[in-house]
Chain A
Amino acid sequence: MPLFQVRDLHYYYPESEKPALKGINISVEEGEFVLVTGGSGSGKSTLARALAGLVPDFYGGVFRGEVLFRGRNIRCMDRRKLYRHVGMVFQDPEKQLVKTEAEAEIAFGLENLGLPQQEMFRRVAEVMDFLDLKETKGRFVDKLSGGQKQKIALASVLAMQPEAIILDEPTSQLDPASAEELLNLIKRLNEEMGKTIVLVEQRLERCFHMADRVAIMKDGELTIEGTPRDVAAKSIACGIHFIPPVTRFFTEMGFSRIPITVKEGRRILKENIPQQDSDAEPIQSTDFSKSKQIDNGCCPDPASLMRPDFDRNAGAILELKNVWFSYKDKENVLQEINLEIFPGEFLAILGANGAGKSTLLKIMSGLLVPDRGRVLFCGNECGKKREVYRCGKVAYLSQNPNDYLFQDTVEQELCFTLKNFGIPDGGRIDRILDKLDLKQHKNKNPRDLSSGERQRVALASVLVIEPVLVLLDEPTRGMDYGLKAALGTCLAELDGKKLSIVMVTHDVEFAAEHAKRVIILHDGKIASDGPAEHVLGNSIYYSTQMARMCKGFARNILTVEDAIKRLGPVLTQNRQAFTERGSG
């Protein structure tokens, strides 16, 4: 008997005429690892909530069909019994922790189950040991990093000893290192403790291979379901891109053997392309490879940062000279930062949490004034009295777009910014709404829009002043593939000759696809600065899945498109020769 069985499930959220789930049929066996993926609004989170008994219990709405747990209808089960068997971890660690102290937080679920104190003590101790949370003991939850908070949330569920754990995009708010650590823990829970895992996720490159089964959802329906390899083959045929880059590359190249990990991908490449020495010339010389290689820690050659349409003679828009910054309770958050940003540049800043990325962005915007060093905007010195943002030429989009939205309509939201700077509309509002595909929402309340649309409204509210420098703090946080692609298109349209974009992100794949220059910050210092192909191509950790796979075969490959362009002809040629030899 399967652990979960979903039969013909239909669900409508209250006051919604569009179904969130349409005729879902799926079963999950005991000990299985199921990955559920799909676009924003595809119903994957709703399905996770239905398995956890939260839909419709918590939300209400219209529910038809059955969700069975060990053959029993979840809706008829005693709630306490259900939560003993099924646990759920949510997306945002900030919005699921209740207590002020880590240990008390882990015990919260156990207290709710009414367990005796000795039993609670044992379970909390075991879980803290298993998840290596000893250092959080006695600490305030508020003081922990995002990764630690999410581990506490997982520990709190794990302490309840459920048979199945449902995770709704648990890594979407985490940096790559924390995300990797959490996913490895989830894998261990499945393999070593036999827990059944249902993981809803969009960052597939790290978890696709972990799953026993993958389900892809679209418009509330389960479109593709099967083993990762089957799903990879089917999804390309259906035009769905919810597969990792390595898998996508080989599927698009028409290989019958489809790899799902970098290791497998490299093995196939090795069979088809002779591996190069790391010192050897890359397989095909392009414009990219002509630029100078930059090692970590070395000062880049400014010429190597130039793009073909990049006008260095125009002078830097923003210059940071020997900038140092400390907070009251944290010293040297930024150290010796020297940076120049030129018109038309698209720069991505990567680094671990606490490396000083957001602080650097705030220094650039003028929201923070450096303790030491100078900030020059268009050649003019900025200080306490001459904040950069006051000139109306800099747009800054913070991590949470919701904090921008408070007017009754999208149009008013944009008018608000224009009015504050005393800029007449002159068609600006319509121009920017058109560019960001928001025209149809002009008279809607921005808080009634979806998360991706809200993000675009927030972006429009700062871009309406037609700035020369745009600063974006983690713009792809919590976004699915489709929304990211849409944002990328928006940015590409904005990325004209005069407009410079600086983006702080954890999303290496997004940075690889869109940024021309990349900086890696470590502990407040610039560890690496150079063209994206060099920095990401040579990085051990901040590199894309394609870069890792192609290392040694060809240089400067970051995306699937790069690989198809560069390796595609060689692979096709070698395969043809191999086939001809075989037939001969």
Chain B
Amino acid sequence: MSSSSITKPSAADDTLRAQIFQRLHPRVYLERFTAEKFRPDGRTFDEWRKVSVNVGSISTADGSALVRMGDTTVVCGVKAEVAEPDLDLPEQGFLVPNLDLPAICSPKFKPGPPTEEAQVLSDRLNEALVTSGVLSLSSLCIHPGKAVWTLYVDSTCINYDGNAFDATLLAMLAALRNTTLPKATYDEETGRTTCSRKNRSPLQLERHFASTSFGVLETSHVLSDPTAFEEPLMDVALTVIVDDHGQLISTNESGAGISQETLLQCISRAKERASQLQRLL
């Protein structure tokens, strides 16, 4: 670079230099912001990103939702299929949640089988949906021992800008709320299940909840709703799931420990956020 451009830097030069600095020293870049009590995207530490939920726009699915959390975009579609129940659980249907992080959503991911991150997230989502008892599996029974509904709750991330867990859980719950099942009858003589196209009824969801994620930097800075740039730099990742009565469903903390105070603070903030998100559904 010539000396004149150093003495008189233009705005474009500055942006480019900031970008290079961000690439080479991401941690220092972030710390420069946190020292000023701000984050690279202009948010304060406890500020959330804007969330929008759009349900029922996919006609090939039995229920669907599109969630945008800042730039993170997740589409979820529920497909209902008929299956034979497990022998030891003749009245229980199946709930099968999966998250796909395809190559389209971020340069981090390559085409091919699910990445480690996608597998971990799918597993955590499955746990959240199953352990919370969002849906009674016996309500998916068509005929005991013969036919039950299987709900495939498939999510695809279209744009990955961090906090995919919160966005996906919200999308899955919104899609489940939007799902209607056709009235099905099992014919004992032929062993076939037939459905009526005209007669559809919504799922009976037992609980409403939402998850909230935080990232903690240097034990004192608690960043809510971290972006894709902030996420890998955090010392601690914390996810709290609470239901609409303020009861804890799951708390997941990983990384270097945090103080009890911080944890309690995060939980109370998660309650606040959960009721905010509930209003969107």
A in complex with B: no
Residues of chain A having any CB pair with chain B under 8 Å: none
Residues of chain B having any CB pair with chain A under 8 Å: none
